[in-house]
Amino acid sequence: MSDFKNVSLKKEANIYYDGKVTSRTIEFEDGSIKSLGVMLPGEYTFGTNEAEIMEMLSGELEIRLPNEDWKTLNTPETFEIGANSSFDLKIKTVTDYCCSYIK
Amino acid sequence: MSDFKNVSLKKEANIYYDGKVTSRTIEFEDGSIKSLGVMLPGEYTFGTNEAEIMEMLSGELEIRLPNEDWKTLNTPETFEIGANSSFDLKIKTVTDYCCSYIK
């Protein structure tokens, strides 16, 4: 099956917004970290520490990055968020995603 | 970090009930399969193929197994469901779980 091999996985979920946004954290052999998550329809704001690359695996959303206007993104689009930043999301349909943290 | 090591992970989520129940499938070196999932409050019915052991990592729920009455379970309780069966759930608070499939 499997798209990621030889990874380590934290058992407990990361749970935000009463469970409307959840993710699992995975660590690769080279020490890099990704999270795989699901966002249900709703409006959310998230902050970053490290820069992030978000790959949409399913769903449609609107995003507002710092100093930008709202824009609509559909699967399989990808977006990047800078380090120490924040961004707003309006999730339109259930969005499955893979988030890569950039050191 | 990590509770599971050297596992393979399917990238896409399993999505049920409009995303109110989601899980990710993981495969261990010995070929055994688990899924890690989150269930939001609501009422659900699930069927099994293989027998399952469900370990609650967070949350509170009521469950009705075949030919049994409803019972309330709290984290960190575990319940088992037979193969080729079905069961009903009333999720009371966001429930994070680990499901093991028994060959």
Residue A42 inside a domain? The answer is yes
Residue B2 inside a domain? The answer is no
Residue A3 inside a domain? The answer is no
| Average pLDDT along chain B | 96
ipTM score: 0.93
Strand partners for B87: B46
Residue B3 inside a domain? The answer is no
Largest CA distance in chain A: 41
Residues of chain A falling short of pLDDT 50 = 1
Report which of B36, B2, B35, B29 is spatially closest to residue A31, judged by C-alpha positions. Answer: B2
Asked if A26 has any chain B CB less than 8 Å from its own CB, the reply is yes
Q: Which helix (H) or strand (E) holds B9?
A: strand B4-9
* Geometric angle at alpha carbon A41, from B73 and B97, rounded to 5°: 25
How much is the pLDDT for A45?
Answer: 98
Q: How close A67 comes to chain B (CA, Å)?
A: 31
> B8, A7: Cβ pair inside 8 Å?
yes
Residue A89 inside a domain? The answer is yes
pLDDT tops 70 at residue B1: no
| Average pLDDT along chain A | 96
Asked if B31 has any chain A CB less than 8 Å from its own CB, the reply is no
A–B interface: beta-carbon pairs under 8 A: 100
> B10, A26: Cβ pair inside 8 Å?
no
A9: Cβ contacts below 8 Å, ≥ 6 apart: A24, A25, A26, A27, B2, B3, B4, B7, B9, B26, B36
Residue A35 inside a domain? The answer is yes
Residue B23: CATH number of its domain: 2.60.120.10
Residue A1 inside a domain? The answer is no
**Boundaries of domain holding A55:** 8-102
Tally of domains within chain A: 1
